[in-house]
Amino acid sequence: MSNPVFFAPAGSLAPVEPGSRFVLDGPEARHAVTVKRLTVGESVDIADGAGGRLTGTVSEIGPGTLTVTASEVVFEQPSAVRLVLVQALAKGDRDELAIETSTELGIDAVIPWQSERSIVRWKGDRAAKAHAKWQSVVTAAAKQARRAWIPEVRSIVESGALAQAVAAADLAIILHEDAKTSLRKVLEESEVLQGAEAGEAREVLLIVGPEGGISPREVTRLSDAGAVTALLGHHVLRSSTAGPAAVVLASDVLGRW
């Protein structure tokens, strides 16, 4: 069984070398000590959420601190093709379920989208709290999946700002039931993947609408900005399911799995 993972601040593992001791404190250490009840001699991983991972053994436990003696420290490189889920806000916490599952499956970043048909609205103080909740969801999911990278939750966008993001992306794909080309074919035939094979970083946006679907006006606007439509399957998926399904298929095409 893989080691439990606890997160340290980004960059904090840079000076750590095998044989040295690292002290974890704060909420993560308290969780390890009081909830997980780790004891001296147990193996753990400490990740910094930005690719750094320390594997070691608990050597000391204090009030709110966990000291780990490092046996290995590695820094995982980011994927050559970054998968970004553009998730429309959806009712019933289905959007949170989508980003949680997508994080476990390997998404690299998520963008909350205030689409025309989204019933849920992020406004005022609620916007900041909702964004923090999304970041908490992906952090917990990254820990569950034993990931060294925590997906970035970017600022919420409305359709105008999303069109700008589409124009700037290497590839933007609208998952749409009326599309004629499969998602697999779009990915396999894209020059984006060919550039990634040459060592160039690329970013792919996977755009998922709300429960009511993406409006025709939004499809046109995003397509005009450079997005392509793709068919995920023969069945209509919920907003909470489409994103994770796309991550699985894209990960297979990219050779991640």
CATH number of 5-75: 2.40.240.20
Q: Where are the domains of the chain?
A: 5-75, 81-253
pTM of the model: 0.92
Residue 145 amino acid letter: A
Average pLDDT over residues 233-241: 87
**pLDDT confidence of residue 107:** 97
Average pLDDT over residues 193-210: 80
Please enumerate in sequence order all residues whose Cβ is within 8 A of that of 187, keeping only pairs 6 or more positions apart, or say none. 173, 193, 204, 249, 250, 253, 254
Q: Which two tokens stand for residue 50?
A: 């930005």
Average pLDDT over residues 63-68: 92
| Contact in structure between 115 and 88 (CB atoms under 8 Å) | yes
What's the rounded Cα separation, in Å, for the pair 49 and 53? 8
Within 78-122, residue ranges assigned H as helices are 94-105
CATH architecture of 81-253: 3-Layer(aba) Sandwich (3.40)
Cα 207 to chain centroid distance, Å, stands at 14
Please enumerate in sequence order all residues whose Cβ is within 8 A of that of 7, keeping only pairs 6 or more positions apart, or say none. 28, 46, 47, 48, 49, 139, 142, 143, 150
Burial class (CB in 10 A: 0-12, 13-18, 19+), 72: exposed
